[in-house]
Amino acid sequence: MSLEPPTAVRPQPPAPGPVLGPRLTLPQPLLLQSGVALPSVTIAYQTYGTLNEAASNCVLLCHALTGDQFVAGTHPVTGRPGWWDDLVGPGRMIDTNRFFVVCTNVLGGCMGSTGPKELNPDTGRPWGLTFPVITIRDMVQAQAKLMDHLGVKQVFCVAGGSMGAMQVLEWAHRFPERVFCALPIAGSYRHSAQNIAFHEVGRQAIMADPDWCHGAYLDEDKIPKRGLAVARMAAHITYLSETALHRKFGRRLQGREALTYGFDADFQVESYLRHQGLTFVDRFDANSYLYITRAMDYFDLAAENGGVLAKAFDKTPVRFCLISFSSDWLFPTSESRAIAHALNAVAANVSFVEIDSDKGHDAFLLDEPEFHQTAQGFIDGAAAIRGLPRRSV
Amino acid sequence: MSLEPPTAVRPQPPAPGPVLGPRLTLPQPLLLQSGVALPSVTIAYQTYGTLNEAASNCVLLCHALTGDQFVAGTHPVTGRPGWWDDLVGPGRMIDTNRFFVVCTNVLGGCMGSTGPKELNPDTGRPWGLTFPVITIRDMVQAQAKLMDHLGVKQVFCVAGGSMGAMQVLEWAHRFPERVFCALPIAGSYRHSAQNIAFHEVGRQAIMADPDWCHGAYLDEDKIPKRGLAVARMAAHITYLSETALHRKFGRRLQGREALTYGFDADFQVESYLRHQGLTFVDRFDANSYLYITRAMDYFDLAAENGGVLAKAFDKTPVRFCLISFSSDWLFPTSESRAIAHALNAVAANVSFVEIDSDKGHDAFLLDEPEFHQTAQGFIDGAAAIRGLPRRSV
């Protein structure tokens, strides 16, 4: 029996460069929620479509924990379609013939935006753990600076799933006059104890890897691949429902007729998870994983508003559509319902739909026609109110 | 900020010795399900109460993944109460004034029974990964040999939770004439894809630890503490419900007034999980964890019976009581229900109770009065039919 842990040498995430698309470097330090002033902040982003004269057709898409700015088209690093490629493009749900779509790599990320992998301008060495802890609010503040740069005073729609939904809610809370409508999907207004617990397992897996080098692995020319792969494997289970895992894999064996009585990946689900772990380390930075999970853990819109979530949205002019998925146990429907209740309490314009799906949390990235119809209806309705042209098909 | 992973030096699991209680060494090799004949098998066990003259009052308790033979009294290694100390003793649910209670450390375990931590008699060195992969059936075969040794032809009751329930089902399937009644709690007739996935994460965490030394860490005088701690942390989340985690910890901070903007355990739930990981490595062997999780993954009573679970219990004379917990998402009620359906299909004597509890899978180890009343009623009823004396209180 072979007991090799995942150690195969693989290509590393690319250094930032033209391949990662346009980048904006802020002229001033960004004052973070922690109180730290972060210098030389760079935001890598992608745009699709054209901003209209009134600058009223911008759709800002916010990516999830391990996503990035490459929402549509072919990802330049992985060679795979962008995370919402099915939904973003000419004639698609987010129609690039009528919308100017923007997606940034979040602050703290590893696809070209300032994060622990980038160089600290004061030292010329990678930030590593000297990078300050950032929050969802910080990510949104950086996005707002980009919107300023692009000449967008009010975003037509801010949309995103999972951590993207947290950013959407933060946008609506922090900049209510700059958001026409908001589409938080499979999200939450605060990370739960179980959410924090799973993130902590992932962080401990990374930090337990000696190649993490107390965060200074780039200086040491090492990568904590094993720890990061384990973190990804644990997280990946939480993105799927038990039903989805059962349908996808059940107890089927992987390329063999019978159990081997060993520790090879006898079961397809084991092989799949190992693959998820292995491929993840090719495209993601371990320290970024620490920082971004921490940002999610820290997010709590209720606590920031005296424990009353409704206060976060008092007198909000934003039109909301909340979407959850029935089999999502990471950000269950009860979380979206709590947001809906808070919005109702301040008489906000809100619709809330739970999509019947057995695909788990990841449903927001998958082919779920009812979800797409719901989101499409909301966007088209809001666009009509906003006076934007109809969809091109 | 301190980012030390859990590396503190801690006492190691004790070498087997008198402190671990009586041990039986089988006179013949044990023929395993894999076909391997395992020599010099030793089973460490504990007994409570006295076997009656008819040898009809034996209760065999089967422990879960990380449990052991110390079901009652004070554990000699951890100094804490046994895993069912509340339920086993004079006048308690499993009344040691009337029952002869036996609990073995499972084959493959690390509390004195033969497992990867013990010495291979042929080499004089720890088995490590040269230990053969064992199954739930093998564990039960070893227990049956102990019953022979103790003079117990028929066990009055076989009971256990989680992996213990798997052993109970295997006993009823393999030795129907040797089991009067069976009490599988929070169990399953086969490990699901999600169950396997979580176990695989734990195994990969252990194998990713360089101190695992490809399984030969005892030869190298090392212990893969970090990997084992991460495995335990990930597993521990699955033992609790989201509600239980929320009630126990919520988003409360650990010994601080405000977020630290760092990677310390800001949240109580992080501190709790780290503690779970750290203390686990004091009492458990990493290779045992690999072998026992594998045994659970391999368990599939339906597959072994042509895909028809009912065939596993055809014409069974065993009286069953199945118990599940409403918030158990690791071995959900649907698993017990499937067993109940299979038993109904062969007209077996079975009762099935789902206990309303928000404590998750671990409820079988916790103070759940309705669970205790249900189990008590079943045991007392079966004891009356068996002609055993009444409970002493």
CB < 8 Å to A201, chain B: 230, 233-234, 237, 273
The DSSP result for A9-78, as a single string, is --PPPPPSSGGG--EEE-SS-EE-TTS-EE-S-EEEEEEES---TTS--EEEEE--TT--S--SSB-TTT
Q: Note the pLDDT of residue B81.
A: 97
Give the gap in angstroms from C-alpha A125 to the nearest C-alpha of chain B.
Answer: 20
Task: Give pLDDT tens digits for A213-267.
Answer: 999 999 999 999 999 999 999 999 999 999 999 999 999 999 999 999 999 999 9
Distances (CA, A) of A203 to B198, B260, B267, B270: 17, 16, 14, 10
Residues of B in contact with A116 (CB under 8 A): none
Q: Which residue is it, tokens 């739970």?
A: A354
Contact list in A for residue B207 (CB cut-off 8 A) is: 3, 5, 263
Name the residues of A annotated as catalytic.
162, 328, 361
Mutate to test the interface with B, among A131, A261, A300 (most CBs of B within 10 A): A261
Q: Quick check: B204 and A297 CB within 8 A? A: no
- For B208, the closest of A5, A194, A298 (CB atoms) is A5
Q: Each residue of B193-239: pLDDT tens digit?
A: 999 999 999 999 999 999 999 999 999 999 999 999 999 999 999 99
Closest CA to A340 of A356, A321, A357: A321
Burial class (CB in 10 A: 0-12, 13-18, 19+), A224: buried
Domains observed in chain B = 24-191+300-386 (3.40.50.1820), 195-295 (1.10.1740.110)
CB B79 within 8 A of CB B119: no
Provide DSSP, B280-349.
HHHH--HHHHHHHHHHHHH-BTTGGGTT-GGGGGTT---EEEEEEETT-SSS-HHHHHHHHHHHHHTT-E
Contacts of A209 in chain B (CB under 8 A): 208
Residue B33 has pLDDT above 80, yes or no: yes
Compute the mean pLDDT over every residue in chain A, rounded to the nearest whole number. 94
Q: Which two tokens stand for residue B75?
A: 């554990």
Contact A274 B329 (CB under 8 A): no
User: Which of B194, B198, B243 to probe by mutation at the A interface, max A CB count within 10 Å?
Assistant: B194
B3 contacts A261? CB cut-off 8 A: no
Which residue in B132, B204, B273 is closest to A200 by CB distance? B273
3-state secondary structure of B59: strand
Of A192, A230, A240, the CB nearest to B246: A192
pLDDT in tens, B253-266: 999 999 999 999 99
% of chain B with per-residue pLDDT over 90: 93
Check B229 against A242: CB less than 8 A apart: no
For residue B99 the two structure tokens come to: 């029952």
- By residue count, chain A amounts to 393
Cβ contact A203–B267 (<8 Å): no
Contacts of B290 in chain A (CB under 8 A): 263
CA distance A57 to A49: 10
Judge whether residue B279 has pLDDT over 90. Answer: yes
How far apart are the CA of A24 and the nearest CA of chain B, in angstroms? Answer: 26
**Residue of chain B whose Cα is closest to the Cα of A273:** B197
Q: Which residue of B has its CA nearest to A248?
A: B193
How would you write the pLDDT of chain A (393 residues) with one tens digit per residue?
Answer: 334 444 433 334 445 555 889 999 999 999 999 999 999 999 999 999 999 999 999 999 999 999 999 999 999 999 999 999 999 999 999 999 999 999 999 999 999 999 999 999 999 999 999 999 999 999 999 999 999 999 999 999 999 999 999 999 999 999 999 999 999 999 999 999 999 999 999 999 999 999 999 999 999 999 999 999 999 999 999 999 999 999 999 999 999 999 999 999 999 999 999 999 999 999 999 999 999 999 999 999 999 999 999 999 999 999 999 999 999 999 999 999 999 999 999 999 999 999 999 999 999 999 999 999 999 999 999 999 999 988 765
Please, what's the b/e burial string for A237-249 (b: 16 or more CB within 10 A of its CB; e: otherwise)?
A: bbbbbbebbbeeb
What is the ipTM score, two decimals?
0.93
Model pLDDT for residues B335-344, shown as the tens digit of each residue? 999 999 999 9
Q: Between chains, do B233 and A201 touch, taking CB under 8 Å as contact?
A: yes
